Amino acid sequence: MDARRLQYLKALDIDVWRRREGADTIAAAAPVEVAAAAATATTLQPAAANLDWTSLEAAVRGCTLCGLSKTRTQTVFGVGDRNAQWMVIGEAPGADEDREGEPFVGRAGQLLTSMLKAMGLRREQVFIANILKCRPPGNRDPSPEEVAHCMPYLQQQIELVNPRLILCVGRIAAQNLLKTDTPIGKLRGQLHRLPGTERPVVVTYHPAYLLRSPGEKRKAWADLVFAMNTAEGLAPA
């Protein structure tokens, strides 16, 4: 582990441990089986299916499918490398993101950037998006209707980016993406597959939760190590 990464781990208040010789890889768990009713991928709406980046971004910007279009300052489409090997998916924009039009720009965003740096990744090397493209008032949980309307946009982003691995941060993002009600504590530490595909998904805590519960950063780092080892073990794209 290089000195720069050690500095980032120190910034995360995570004790550094070194792997024993011959223990460089954490074996990926078998894909988790989800309920049969949830295993079928949501059909892309005509408004999102087969759109290129320019058309998809325009569709999101002009979307009025749910009531969030009346309360948002602006949509939060996503940011980063549109050909990235890694995609990070969160829940929904907060106040800072609603104001600036970019995901993960507040304190949670700063921590996410540090988490990526700890993995040897720059923020610009990944693509970051949310389940919802508009901020729910008061940062409340997204409603099922809002998720249903917005999910096709995210699905098309995933298709366009075509990442090797998705890092899903937070309970709500993980449960909606994987179509399950399993608690995040049981979703962590396992290799999942995006429903209807073979695309690998790894789940960890949301940076905002880690800011409230810094004692869980150690678990989050274990998740990141698991994600790195999983990515290393995948066949080249």
Query: Do 91 and 174 touch, CB atoms closer than 8 A?
Result: no
Which residue ranges make up each domain of the chain? Answer: 42-233
pLDDT reported for residue 2: 66
| Residue ranges in the chain modelled with pLDDT below 70 | 1-47, 235-237
pLDDT reported for residue 7: 59
Query: Do 192 and 31 touch, CB atoms closer than 8 A?
Result: yes
Fold classification of 42-233 is Uracil-DNA Glycosylase, subunit E (3.40.470)
- Tokens representing 235? 């066949």
Q: Taking the CB of residue 125, how many other CB atoms lie within 10 A of it? A: 14
For residues 214 and 153, what is the distance between their CA atoms, to the nearest angstrom?
33
3-state secondary structure of 122: coil
Strand residue runs (E) in 29-177? 79-80, 86-90, 127-130, 165-169
